[in-house]
Structure 1
Amino acid sequence: MGEWLSDFGMFLAQLLSLAVIVGLAVVVAARLRGEGGDEARLKVEELNRRRGARTRRLRLAASEPGARKRLAKAFRREDKRQTKAGKGRSGKAGGDGDEGEARPATLWLLDFHGDIRASGTGRFAEEVSAVISAAEPGDEVVVRLESAGGLVHAYGLAAAELDRLREAGLTTTVCVDKVAASGGYLMACGADSVRAAPLAVLGSIGVVAQVPNVHRLLKRHDIDVDVLTAGRYKRTLTVLGENTEEGREKFVEDLERTHELFKRHVAERRPGLDMEAVATGEIWYGSEALEKGLIDALGTSEAYLVERMASTRVIRVRLEPPRRLGERLSLAVAAGVERALLRGAEALDASRWLKR
């Protein structure tokens, strides 16, 4: 009898293993089949509901066991009342053929995390287009912006996309929790209002470029490099060829011209700024930036959104590009490695305080 039970248990284990393998194969095949399309998905989330649900959970957890049922019933009654009120408004709006009541003002939330190439600009542009098509007069658009700047032309395009919101007649607010410097500030200054955390980094209204040159090293080893151009200033500075004083002067002239365009862009959008004082390439922290006029208010994006939720619907809009299985796996591995490195760095830092 015991031998039979053992064989039967082994059979069940093998059957279960086979089912798991088949299930995994089906899931992988379905994902691979679904990854054939390149269409990004637009994710829309009402943050008021998420915050309300979390607040209720915390209130229930903090209440006495005897009061928990009464509180849960009160929440259910409130939900029913809000549902009836919503149905009543929708029925009135469509029942008599009139325009009905205008919907309450909405705050649309977008995020922009910029790298040196501002590679998220394409996604950001599509999100801006989606919001402009759905927004109504009186709505506000908040952009949570984080960028230390990068390529001039890349951030020029990103700033132009943010300008589209103002041109569409929408109130715009940029919230900076960490950094909006150089190209990041080029974008931020286009908003009607700029808010920043007290120690967020802002400014860096300047232009920088550096070009290494190994001409003398090559010359020392009798290696000649010919740089052939058509046009006097087609190549001002080179990496391999010999640079001339005329080329350096032209290169600096181009930097100054770019800086002037940067300053003009900022001055047009924030006319009250003392450009000579702030366009030095320096950075300022939030409280200092407020004194300089680079921003309008101090505060974190979370604090501002919570404040606005009291009277406004806050809807987050995010365009998620499709990710292939290989890309998801590589991102997971990269995230794991990054976590391991961070933990190692934290352990090393903490070890200084643990020595006796």
Structure 2
Amino acid sequence: MASGTPMRQNLSLAGVAGVLEKAFSIPAPAVAISINSPGGSPVQSRLIYKRIRDLAEEKQRRVLVYVEDVAASGGYMIACAGDEIIIDPSSIVGSIGVVSAGFGFQEMIRKIGVERRVHTSGRNKAILDPFQPEKEDDIAHLKELQQHIHTVFIDLVKSRRGAKLADNDDLFTGLFWVGEKARELGLADSLGDMRSDIKRRYGAKAQLRLIAPARGLLSRKIPFFSVEQFSTTDVASAFAAGLLEAAEEKAAWQRFTL
């Protein structure tokens, strides 16, 4: 389970539901899940978490989660679906919090002589418009929403990790930790890698059967359009949106790059 990139769809329940169903349909003592994600949508993360737990209970399978580079924020929420969380000594886990980031363009459009025109039928319909100055009331409303989502996240972690969690004031502040320290805090159960750990648990003859989504351009349906279908404005807008999405994802990963 990995975060999206400009050449790959973002992590979502729709994207992994089929893979999960297939993995849990195989007669085996456990389902091992590899996670490498700095986070994403709290809704999609929780939906994936819930689907894993539902399948685990329905199929009576033990779930072992193995963290690669990062399982942070939404990535860690999904990791909590595991009956055990196993991390590498250099894995980064945690970041139990909620973040909302964007850009403010009001000064830029003013300098290039662009006038922003917004017409709404509700006074809050254009809340947090990136082309207008921020308002204190808008920020307060956003923080209220974030606090609610944060509480849901904290409750989920506590329900799964329970008494394993250390008594640490920083645990739910959005901080993240690495390897042994993460284990000491109760965010993970042990250090190791998937192949070695499976052999240790189930014997030298135990085999891993890889269940993964199709990869590559030829494995997905890709729509083709003629050039005439797009105006120059459409192309420029799509290009700009793509650059912003790529920048936001790069920023998400860079927070956890050592």
Task: Name the TM-score, length of structure 1 as normaliser.
Answer: 0.53
Partner of residue 126 from structure 1, selected from 18, 32, 41? 18
Which aligned pairs between 1:233-312 and structure 2 lie closer than 5 A? 233-272=124-163, 273=165, 274=167, 276-307=169-200, 308-310=202-204, 312=206
CA distance in 1, matches of 2:2, 2:208: 20
Distance change >3 Å, CA 167–CA 325, structure 1 → 2: closer
8 A contact 2:3–2:11 mirrored in 1: yes
Distance change >3 Å, CA 152–CA 120, structure 1 → 2: closer
TM-superposed CA distance for 1:316, in Å, is 2.6
Partner of residue 199 from structure 1, selected from 65, 90, 103? 90
Sequence identity (%):
26
CA distance in 1, matches of 2:174, 2:101: 15
Distance change >3 Å, CA 217–CA 309, structure 1 → 2: same
RMSD of the alignment, in Å? 2.8
Partner of residue 3 from structure 2, selected from 97, 102, 114? 114
Amino acid at match of 2:3: G
Residue by residue, what CA displacement relative to the aligned partner does 1:202-251 show, whole Å, maximum 9, x if unpaired? 00111112222222444466654233334454442111123321111112
Structure with max Cα Rg: 1
TM-superposed CA distance for 1:123, in Å, is 4.5
Which aligned pairs between 1:23-172 and structure 2 lie closer than 5 A? 112-115=1-4, 118-119=10-11, 121-135=13-27, 139-168=29-58, 169-172=60-63
TM-superposed CA distance for 1:185, in Å, is 0.4
Partner of residue 214 from structure 2, selected from 304, 307, 320? 320
8 A contact 2:33–2:65 mirrored in 1: yes
Amino acid at match of 2:4: D
8 A contact 1:205–1:280 mirrored in 2: yes
TM-superposed CA distance for 1:120, in Å, is 6.4
Amino acid at match of 1:127: V
Amino acid at match of 2:65: V
Distance change >3 Å, CA 265–CA 233, structure 1 → 2: farther
CA distance in 1, matches of 2:220, 2:34: 30
Residue by residue, what CA displacement relative to the aligned partner does 1:82-123 show, whole Å, maximum 9, x if unpaired? xxxxxxxxxxxxxxxxxxxxxxxxxxxxxx233376436434
Residue by residue, what CA displacement relative to the aligned partner does 1:151-208 show, whole Å, maximum 9, x if unpaired? 3233233222322333222111101132111111010011111111111110011111
Partner of residue 212 from structure 1, selected from 70, 78, 103? 103
Residue by residue, what CA displacement relative to the aligned partner does 1:258-307 show, whole Å, maximum 9, x if unpaired? 21121122112112224753111111001001110001111122321332
Q: Residue 179 in 1 paired to residue 73 in 2?
A: no
Residue by residue, what CA displacement relative to the aligned partner does 1:133-160 show, whole Å, maximum 9, x if unpaired? 3436xx2111111111123233233222
8 A contact 1:174–1:195 mirrored in 2: yes
CA distance in 2, matches of 1:295, 1:229: 48
CA distance in 1, matches of 2:96, 2:211: 30
Secondary structure in 2 matching 1:164: helix
Q: List gaps (5 residues or longer) in structure 1.
A: 1-111, 328-356
The structure that is helix-richer by fraction is 1
Distance change >3 Å, CA 252–CA 120, structure 1 → 2: closer
CA distance in 1, matches of 2:161, 2:196: 24
CA distance in 1, matches of 2:219, 2:115: 48
Distance change >3 Å, CA 118–CA 278, structure 1 → 2: farther
Amino acid at match of 1:302: R
Amino acid at match of 1:114: S
Distance change >3 Å, CA 241–CA 310, structure 1 → 2: same
8 A contact 1:226–1:241 mirrored in 2: no
8 A contact 2:179–2:191 mirrored in 1: yes
Q: List gaps (5 residues or longer) in structure 2.
A: 222-258
Distance change >3 Å, CA 156–CA 227, structure 1 → 2: farther
Residue by residue, what CA displacement relative to the aligned partner does 1:9-47 show, whole Å, maximum 9, x if unpaired? xxxxxxxxxxxxxxxxxxxxxxxxxxxxxxxxxxxxxxx
Distance change >3 Å, CA 254–CA 232, structure 1 → 2: farther
Amino acid at match of 1:128: L
Amino acid at match of 2:57: E
**Equivalenced residues, count:** 214
Secondary structure in 2 matching 1:174: strand
